[in-house]
Amino acid sequence: MSPRARSVLSAVLIVLACLLAPLGALSGWAMYGIGDSGRYEATMTPLASDSDVREAIASAVTDGILREVHVGAPLQKPVNHFVRDAVRSFTHTPAFRTAWQAANRAAHDAVMRALHSDREEAVTIDLAPVAQRVKSQLTFEHMPLANRIPVEHTEITVLPSEDLNQLRKGFHVLEFAGFWLPAAAAVLAVTGILVAVCRRRAVLATGLGTALGAALLGVAIAVGRRLTLDDLPADVSPSAAGAVYDALTGTLRLVSWLLLALGVTVASAALLTAAYGRRRRASAAPAQAQADQPTRVRA
């Protein structure tokens, strides 16, 4: 193979590797971060202590309870205030964290079933377990009519039905590519470096391309966050949704930073070794020239 053909082939392989690296990170995150129930639960559990999430859950549960409580006008404001305070207080208890974990586990199972099936129904979280615990607490505190509060299925939509088909197709692609894309990116990068005429230059291009792909991945995560929050329904708290988005994409952001650091490190190493090689050649040249000069002997 001619040097020109080797250079072209190396460039194509390195470009493909740099394009597949962020896509591999995204597919790996979808498969191992979101698709795995244990990792998902570990990601969502700390959100039970997030103030925005607690306030959003408290508002949803409170509104569901108050829709079923009918009292006269003199008692309406005191009862509403008492219920809201009781629900907010409940969100700071270990019982709420237990209910939060159970609700998220159920939601994740429902989402996974929806993504792996052909049903077109919206995926929701049922807050009835939380309402039942709040009812028990209000009854224990002797709130009037608390024992007559019906525990209805207060649901929060986490996956609209109109978006389900598109998300299902995208998730299947990412799930299938979760292993193969990172492996293909690594193989293409190594092959591109090996067939290159100047391997140091190929390593430099690989490092810079990887860093650029990681930066684009970080930008995509930020843009996705903004688009997600802009499309929220009116009754969904943007701050709570932002906290959930940040928690779910935390691993993906970390991977993007690691790829960026790896790319910059590889490119810097290639530049430093090139500068060191030039310095050694420059220092060796005068010595070689002096050794090649003829020796004159006076008669």
Judge whether 58 lies within some domain.
Answer: yes
Predicted confidence (pLDDT) per residue in 101-131, tens digit: 877 887 788 778 777 777 766 666 666 666 6
The 8-class DSSP code of residue 42 comes to: H
What is the predicted pLDDT for the residue at 125?
A: 67
CA distance 204 to 211: 11
Judge whether 70 lies within some domain.
Answer: yes
Percent of the chain with pLDDT over 70: 76
Which residue segment(s) compose the domain that 88 sits in?
A: 3-122+160-281
Which candidate, 153, 262, 277, places its Cα nearest to that of 210?
262
Judge whether 30 lies within some domain.
Answer: yes
Judge whether 131 lies within some domain.
Answer: no
Judge whether 108 lies within some domain.
Answer: yes
Predicted confidence (pLDDT) per residue in 259-297, tens digit: 999 999 999 988 888 777 677 767 765 655 555 555 555
Predicted confidence (pLDDT) per residue in 45-75, tens digit: 898 888 888 888 888 877 777 776 666 667 6
C-alpha distances in Å from residue 251, one per residue of 28, 112, 245, 295: 10, 19, 11, 69
**pLDDT at 298 > cutoff 60:** no
Q: Write down the mean pLDDT value for the chain.
A: 79
Torsion, Cα 54 56 57 59, to 10 degrees, reads: 120
Q: Among the ranges 24-28, 29-33, 181-185, 214-218, which has the highest mean pLDDT value?
A: 214-218
Sign of CA dihedral 279, 281, 282, 283: positive
Judge whether 296 lies within some domain.
Answer: no
Which tokens in the block code for residue 58?
């408290």
Average pLDDT value for residue range 138-158? 61
Half-sphere exposure of residue 197: CA atoms within 13 angstroms, side-chain side: 10
**Which pLDDT band holds residue 35 (cuts at 50, 70, 90)?**
confident
What is the predicted pLDDT for the residue at 288?
A: 57
CA distance 151 to 56: 19
Residue 68: strand, helix, or coil: coil
Judge whether 143 lies within some domain.
Answer: no
**Number of domains observed in the structure of the chain:** 1
Q: How far apart are the first and last CA of the chain?
A: 57
Judge whether 290 lies within some domain.
Answer: no
Cα of 293 vs its chain's centroid, Å: 66
What is the predicted pLDDT for the residue at 168?
A: 76
